Structure 1
Amino acid sequence: MSSRVTDSRIRAVLGPTNTGKTHLAIERMCGHSSGAIGFPLRLLAREVYDKVCKIKGESQVALITGEERIEPPTARYLLCTAEAMPRDGGNRAFVALDEAQLAADRERGHIFTDRLLNARGREETMLLGSATLEPMVQALVPGAMIEERPRFSTLSHAGSCKLSRLPPRSAIVAFSVEEVYRVAELLRRFRGGAAVVMGALSPETRNRQVELFQSGEVDYIVATDAIGMGLNLDVTHVAFASLSKFDGVRQRRLNPAEMAQIAGRAGRHHQDGTFGTLSGGRREALEFTEEEVYAIEQHRFAPLTRLYWREAQPRFDTVDVLVADLESKPDIPQLAAAPEAIDLAVLKRLAEDHALMREVKTPGQVRRLWEACQLPDFRQQGADMHARFVRRLWQDLRQGHLGADFVAARIAELGQVRGDIDTLQGRLAAIRSWAYICQRPDWVLARDEMAARARSVEAKLSDALHQRLTERFVNRRTAVLMKSMGKDAGLLRVALDEEGRVTVEDQVIGHLDGFRFVVDAHADSEERKLMLAAAEKHLPQLLEQKAKALVESELGELRIERGAIVRGERPVAQLEQTKSPTHFRIVLEKELDALEPTQKARLSEALEHWLEGQLAPLDALRKLEEAAQDPEAGSEVRALLLTLVDRNGTVQREAAGLAHIPKEKRPFMRKLGVMIGSLDVYVPALLKPGPRMLLRALGVDRRSVNEKMEAVIEGTKHLPAGYRRAGQQAIRVDMAEKLFRAAHETRAKATGRDFPVDTALATSMGLLAENFQRLMRDAGFRPREQVTLAEGVFGPPPPRPWSWRPPRKDHAPQQGQSRGRSGGKPRGKGPHKGGKQGKGRPEHQPATSNAAFAGLADLLG
């Protein structure tokens, strides 16, 4: 019962999940001439086997589990489950035991305890596990060197979260098949689906389901606590659907160490992770206690006080002697007798069959019966049902070997892939039993052939089960739609085919009936909501695409000119402006009245969608218009926005009524794209050639337009839209503000009243020196006398000094008051009589009042 004394160097590497313990063991083993590692799961053993094969080659590596045996004659490295691991390590240079804290498990703990005490390498032995194992290692393996490894990433509590609000890349953990299926079904309906991982699945099916999650096809995985044992997943959040489970004896709450083992799946390597509970279920809300959260986040758990032990080398004199040895008590205080495992329970039930026991006479027969009782209960049917299967197996084994024809027939019976998920799971459990039987060295004739057949059927059933799980719990169309709701929806492929069908990433979501979107008739109620949301996001571009195709097929190329939609040189429809300057009513020309009413309506609808696409450059103006209708903006801001809309995005600062706008409202205006400069309030997005040419073509802005909107142009009597006068030249208002900002930045750094102004930026724009000075004067900057060099001093003259004083206030002058240096003529006492709003009025006309509604009064004047 105690560890053997050897010359092997024993290291206990302990710590929480995501500390690289298993990776370290693989590196150490590959550095030795031979080695063996025992794992808690066949799936994990297979994963490491594949890694070591890439390093050492397949001929050097063996995989031995209960159901699978790959053992080349030249193999020097052994990857196996703990049960299949040799008790003494197989006389290898390196031996490691993974998840050694499972020695405290009620069902399998005695296996891990035996390997912890007896499995040793000639040169190095490594025990991997939780830090809770440290007292047991110190007591039972006194020569071991103990080292603790910290977790690579941080694990933090994220509280409770509804299923509908779970972040992507989450794992949901439940403790019953029914709960797993329920959560997976909900995720299918609301999030497009989830991968499913349970202990009852075959390793191949689990691998396929894990790949479904790892590849990103689904963003969620629902699992039992099997996820806590070595599955390396790209999970960022773990949500517990329950905090209690049935441990084989009673329903109990998980202890903090068990919670941490599962929660630790969140965050891999240096990526941080979170954990929490799932709210909104059918039961009461789940919550971690403060003590549990602290323990999980800080990795502080109560140490193990005992490990389970069972006699690993019992006597086989008689069945009664065998049972007595298996139920014997350890004489070491740190060890406790293991609870009755299913193999012992089956043996005791068979021992009650006196007819069977009369045939079990020799130690060899007792040993063979015990080996049959150790067949794992893959079906999870309990001791009574499993005992019946073992009894039938023993009736064949007592005569010698199982016949190849008999075994082949049983395997063939299980090879059917028809049926639902539960049926396929039952067949998989049964074929795993036969795979185990075929791996035994002396149970089956033609063992290798039968084992290969069993593995082939298991692979076929695993593929079918994976397909059924995917069909039931993954809705690829919903998954695509959910991703289309995310931040990168614009990157998804949305298409309209020739038949009018609308697809997102090749998944049909509906079709266009004329210009009306119709949801796919085969979608359920939840999918319909998602499809309508996806259609709302992508429909404008689809309608524009269809309208363009329709218009081009009916009318050819169109353009907007002189307030009309024109084809060639002839107008097709007039654009009547509504109360909104960015919305127009289409009035077809009289010659199109000859069309059939249906065709005419169809053409009008197509033109509306075509026009909507053409008006896209005016989105910034539309935002101002919408914000001006918002009561929360405040009357002063609304007045300024209306002025900007009326004047197509540019207004002189003195006419903007800024004195009446609270300073806290200015960030709101900046979000709308409104810039408040030294001389002008403007929207930079509307100073580009596209919007300006479009406003001119629509007839909204009748001022001249500079097609290229250069920074500086030659001055004219009537300035183009978006420009202000600078002496004999004109400069775009945003470029003028750029010069003013540069000068103010220099002034702020100056220590005295005077400061230099760099003219290089203005020169690069093409602004002449004398025109630059006149522009700067408008903003309050004054050049002072040029400083000359003293007599006898050589070199470039010092830069001309400038001064500054505010040019004007933020409100308009009183009626009849001169505008001073700002230019323009004095206003008369009467209201302005020129033209309609925004049409023909000079751009730099001031407001008529300094009241709160100054801008609005100017509009209505």
Structure 2
Amino acid sequence: MHGHVITPGTPGVGVVAMLGPTNTGKTHRAIERMLEHRTGMIGLPLRLLAREVYDRVSARVGESRVALVTGEEKRIPPHPSYWVCTVESMPVEREVDFLAVDEIQLAAHRQRGHVFTDRLLHARGTRETWFMGAETIRPVIEQLVPTAVIDRHPRLSQLRGAGSMSLGALPPRTAIVAFSTNEVYELAERLRQRRGGAAVVLGALSPRTRNAQVALYQAGEVDYMVATDAIGMGLNMDVDTVAFASLRKYDGHERRELEPAELAQIAGRAGRAHNDGQFCTLAPLPSLPDQLVDAIETHRFGNLSRVVWRTTPTRLQFDSVEDLIASLRQKPPRKLLELVRQAEDFDTLVQLAAREQIQARAKGRAAVELLWQVCQIPDFRKLALDGHVDLLAEIYRQLTSSSERLDPDWMNQRISRIDDTEGDIHVLMSRIAFVRTWTYVSNHRAWIVDAEHWQARTRAVEDRLSDALHERLVARFVEREARRGPPVHGPARPRQPKQPKRRAVSIDREAVAAGPFAKLLEVELEPGQRGGERDDAWVQELVDAPHERFVVDDRGNVRDGELELGHLVRGVDLVRPEVTLTIGEALGAGARARIQRRLIAWARDLAHELLAPLRHNTIDALSSDARGLIYQLEQGLGTIHRGAAKAQLLRLAGRDRKLLTSLGVEIGARMIWLPALLRGEALRVRALLVDAALPRGVRVEVPTPEAVALVPNPDVNPNAYTALGFPVFGGRALRADVVERVDAMLRGLAQASDDADEPGFELPPTLADQTGMEVDELARALGWVEQDGRWHPPAEPPTPSRRRRKR
């Protein structure tokens, strides 16, 4: 059946796997085929692509017949014939004649793959089903869906390697691909200086901003685009050349080299329909190896041998939270399937399930199923310090209250805070990420009062923020004199050849000579000296400098000797801080961006060195529960409350406990921590990482080496002190090992008093010397109960041995 050609009108074909490289028209053919049926559904890998296809289909058949369903947007008319969705949002329980899933090779993706695998195994149209994707998925489909017809399609145009090009040599209609926001911004700034400007496309942009940026490019107002690999998933643009500014990306787990098939997916955006395209690297990157270039040109890559799997949603167990977690951990039924190792909704479930207030409410099938729905609210904001879990806990609390709805005033307060179009690009993108959360929530009609109002409200806020973001991007990355031709949203004018604009980028050397950089740059004001030679050499030296050259002081300032370069600031989480530059403006934007990128890499190394005990090869031998515990310890910089890992602890085997001990992990009655991270430089680094994640102007003090207790800052979330290694109890933040020591002492007194005539015991005054707290305040903070002047243990025995005896 291989090579079988599907002709329009062929009825009852069954399952078709339409495989081939980019620019083979697979998605276009699937859309056309769907419209030949009475009803249909198509699942797409990106929200942006789903919106693009929705616009195409609704323009053909009218909006009244087409539903758009993504995590953040639902446009469902009363009786739709066609459903355009993201793969995760496909309502597969609905019967449709035709069903298609695009980019099916994403079944091997580490985080999202289980959804695509589930669609491959279970999603079917009543008359016809299509799976579109790369040829690499073919052996998997042949094993999992042996009755599928394999339909191969060649690329419509030629794709050729073009070696390595400098920025100035790139021809118009080029898309430069980078893999971090900072790198995208740096390249766009360089193009603004040299070539008049660039459009910017990031996966984090809203569809409105992304469409405006693409329109800027398509209309010819700029001839270049700088993008992340978001353009690799079928977004259609007139690109003649794809240039790789980097060949490494962070995939949510590690920074790694791109695989050949991934390079081909992105490079394939060059050329469209029957127009040929080319790909290259951006100097100073060397050209791709000849063997790799040949593989991309001929579309020959190693086949996938496994895909990611998780229990299908219809087979999840909701009788209890424990049953749900167990069903999500169920092992795959075949060797070809690999259990998903990293899923945000599962990690969120585990953290929420460890909270007592959640445990008390998640009783019964309906309550557990609701908890799972809440866990699937995506963390668009990428909050540190468990902020996302805190938000979901509050949402679940309200949904399980007597009203069973979210409080409108509570929602209004939070949405109003982000309805503000002032601020820079970073601020606006953060607000858009936040409003995406509320857009997602507002599309759960059963959760809120007057769903239409909140959907319109969040959509309006996102539109205003998106327009403002587009304006900021244009203002920053497009020269005014370069903005030419028709309006951004008007018809594209014919493209005219344009000579590259070359600008000499130099600094005001007289100003530098009079300022603090004179000695640093060794400026010589001699006629004819080329501007930028010496500062470029210094920047390159700094970028190539070893890790040891940089230091960070107790205020979070990153220094090169006596020279302050930048400041640690909040990143996506505690272990991935960012760095903002404080270095003077004498250096150009490109140099500043290179230094910032180097310092961010240095800051990530700083966090990695801190957590090195938790990243030993030993963790590969741990069970999934123990690895989950390690993950929580990493996110908590080495200290967590025992209750946060309650579910994992119940399932730890003896071997896991021995391996955790070998890693230096202490599991106490109240805390889980690494003693090595409570001393010396490790403690100072923890304080700096926590400080970086806090709002501007709010700090935690760096504890002295002998400190056992701190007075917590009331403006700081107590979780921050836990991450510091000093969890808050009562009016003090106590070092984790001191908490355990004091609690053990109290338990010893309680045990010694068991045989006394009078129950309970009296508190020894010496406890105050260890913590600086009044002894009765300390005991109450630890949960001990006073009756008639004598003290008794907490109601919940936390020790591991007692917990096991209860079971």
Corresponding residue for residue 382 of structure 2 = 380
In the alignment, does 2:110 pair up with 1:110? no
SS in 2 for 1:107: coil
SS in 2 for 1:239: strand
Corresponding residue for residue 9 of structure 1 = 14
CA distance in 2, matches of 1:382, 1:337: 27
Superposition map of 1:828-843 within 5 A:
none
CA distance in 2, matches of 1:478, 1:306: 49
Cα deviation for residue 137 of structure 1 reads: 0.8
Residues 312 and 24 of structure 1, relative CA distance in 2, 3 Å threshold: same
RMSD over aligned CA atoms reads 2.1
Corresponding residue for residue 395 of structure 1 = 397
Superposition map of 1:242-391 within 5 A:
242-280=246-284, 285-313=285-313, 314-381=316-383, 384-391=386-393
Superposition map of 1:49-88 within 5 A:
49-88=54-93
Aligned AA for 1:113?
T
Corresponding residue for residue 147 of structure 1 = 151
Cα deviation for residue 290 of structure 1 reads: 2.0
Superposition map of 1:634-783 within 5 A:
none
The 8 Å contact of residues 222 and 482 in structure 2, kept in 1 or not, is answered as no
The 8 Å contact of residues 159 and 276 in structure 2, kept in 1 or not, is answered as yes
Superposition map of 1:435-514 within 5 A:
435-478=439-482
Cα deviation for residue 397 of structure 1 reads: 2.1
SS in 1 for 2:386: helix
The 8 Å contact of residues 8 and 122 in structure 1, kept in 2 or not, is answered as no
Residues 489 and 56 of structure 1, relative CA distance in 2, 3 Å threshold: closer
CA distance in 1, matches of 2:169, 2:332: 51
Corresponding residue for residue 27 of structure 1 = 32
The 8 Å contact of residues 408 and 450 in structure 1, kept in 2 or not, is answered as no
CA distance in 2, matches of 1:409, 1:249: 34
Cα deviation for residue 369 of structure 1 reads: 1.0
SS in 1 for 2:176: strand
Which digits, 9 at most, give the CA deviation of each residue in 1:554-612, with x for residues without a partner? Answer: xxxxxxxxxxxxxxxxxxxxxxxxxxxxxxxxxxxxxxxxxxxxxxxxxxxxxxxxxxx
Which digits, 9 at most, give the CA deviation of each residue in 1:1-23, with x for residues without a partner? Answer: xxxxx976111100000000011
- Provide runs of 4+ in structure 1 moved above 4 Å: 478-481, 486-490
SS in 2 for 1:78: strand
Cα deviation for residue 386 of structure 1 reads: 2.3
CA distance in 2, matches of 1:190, 1:165: 11
Unaligned runs of 5+ in 2: 1-10, 486-494, 500-530, 533-807
Corresponding residue for residue 209 of structure 1 = 213
Cα deviation for residue 382 of structure 1 reads: 6.3
Aligned AA for 1:376?
P
Superposition map of 1:590-601 within 5 A:
none
CA distance in 2, matches of 1:170, 1:255: 22
RCO comparison, higher one (Cα < 8 Å, 6+): 2
CA distance in 1, matches of 2:59, 2:196: 36
CA distance in 2, matches of 1:428, 1:137: 38
In the alignment, does 2:172 pair up with 1:183? no
Residues 189 and 409 of structure 1, relative CA distance in 2, 3 Å threshold: same
Give the number of equivalent residue pairs. 479
CA distance in 2, matches of 1:455, 1:219: 31
The 8 Å contact of residues 99 and 128 in structure 1, kept in 2 or not, is answered as yes
The 8 Å contact of residues 193 and 476 in structure 1, kept in 2 or not, is answered as no
SS in 2 for 1:80: strand
Which digits, 9 at most, give the CA deviation of each residue in 1:432-481, with x for residues without a partner? Answer: 00000000131111011111111111111100000001101111314669
CA distance in 2, matches of 1:165, 1:389: 49
Cα deviation for residue 325 of structure 1 reads: 1.0
SS in 2 for 1:83: helix
CA distance in 2, matches of 1:377, 1:488: 44
CA distance in 1, matches of 2:86, 2:126: 20
Cα deviation for residue 230 of structure 1 reads: 1.2
Which digits, 9 at most, give the CA deviation of each residue in 1:44-91, with x for residues without a partner? Answer: 111111111122111111111111111111211110111110234x21
The 8 Å contact of residues 62 and 77 in structure 1, kept in 2 or not, is answered as yes
Aligned AA for 2:86?
T
Superposition map of 1:516-595 within 5 A:
none
Aligned AA for 1:306?
R
Residues 133 and 31 of structure 1, relative CA distance in 2, 3 Å threshold: same
TM-score by length of 1: 0.54
CA distance in 2, matches of 1:25, 1:68: 23
CA distance in 2, matches of 1:343, 1:176: 24
SS in 1 for 2:209: helix
Aligned AA for 1:20?
G
SS in 2 for 1:325: helix
The 8 Å contact of residues 346 and 383 in structure 1, kept in 2 or not, is answered as no
CA distance in 1, matches of 2:54, 2:132: 18
Cα deviation for residue 383 of structure 1 reads: 8.7
Cα deviation for residue 324 of structure 1 reads: 1.2
Cα deviation for residue 355 of structure 1 reads: 3.3
CA distance in 2, matches of 1:358, 1:134: 47
Aligned AA for 1:70?
R
Corresponding residue for residue 411 of structure 1 = 415
Identity, % of aligned positions: 50
CA distance in 2, matches of 1:178, 1:489: 28
Cα deviation for residue 405 of structure 1 reads: 3.5
CA distance in 2, matches of 1:417, 1:166: 35
The 8 Å contact of residues 8 and 121 in structure 1, kept in 2 or not, is answered as no
CA distance in 2, matches of 1:465, 1:112: 32
Aligned AA for 2:393?
R
SS in 2 for 1:218: coil
The 8 Å contact of residues 67 and 76 in structure 2, kept in 1 or not, is answered as yes
Which digits, 9 at most, give the CA deviation of each residue in 1:121-146, with x for residues without a partner? Answer: 11111111111111111101111111
Residues 58 and 259 of structure 1, relative CA distance in 2, 3 Å threshold: same
Cα deviation for residue 246 of structure 1 reads: 1.3
Which digits, 9 at most, give the CA deviation of each residue in 1:807-828, with x for residues without a partner? Answer: xxxxxxxxxxxxxxxxxxxxxx
Residues 445 and 29 of structure 1, relative CA distance in 2, 3 Å threshold: same
CA distance in 2, matches of 1:160, 1:34: 48
CA distance in 1, matches of 2:250, 2:169: 28
Aligned AA for 2:230?
A
CA distance in 2, matches of 1:383, 1:43: 30
Residues 63 and 383 of structure 1, relative CA distance in 2, 3 Å threshold: farther
Which digits, 9 at most, give the CA deviation of each residue in 1:348-374, with x for residues without a partner? Answer: 111222232122111211111111110
CA distance in 1, matches of 2:379, 2:149: 37
Cα deviation for residue 396 of structure 1 reads: 2.1
In the alignment, does 2:38 pair up with 1:36? no
Corresponding residue for residue 235 of structure 1 = 239
Cα deviation for residue 488 of structure 1 reads: 5.9
CA distance in 1, matches of 2:146, 2:362: 42
The 8 Å contact of residues 221 and 482 in structure 2, kept in 1 or not, is answered as no
In the alignment, does 2:156 pair up with 1:137? no
In the alignment, does 2:206 pair up with 1:163? no
CA distance in 2, matches of 1:242, 1:413: 37
Which digits, 9 at most, give the CA deviation of each residue in 1:226-281, with x for residues without a partner? Answer: 1101110100000111001111222110000000000000000111111011113x
CA distance in 2, matches of 1:489, 1:328: 59
Cα deviation for residue 315 of structure 1 reads: 0.5
The 8 Å contact of residues 242 and 286 in structure 1, kept in 2 or not, is answered as no
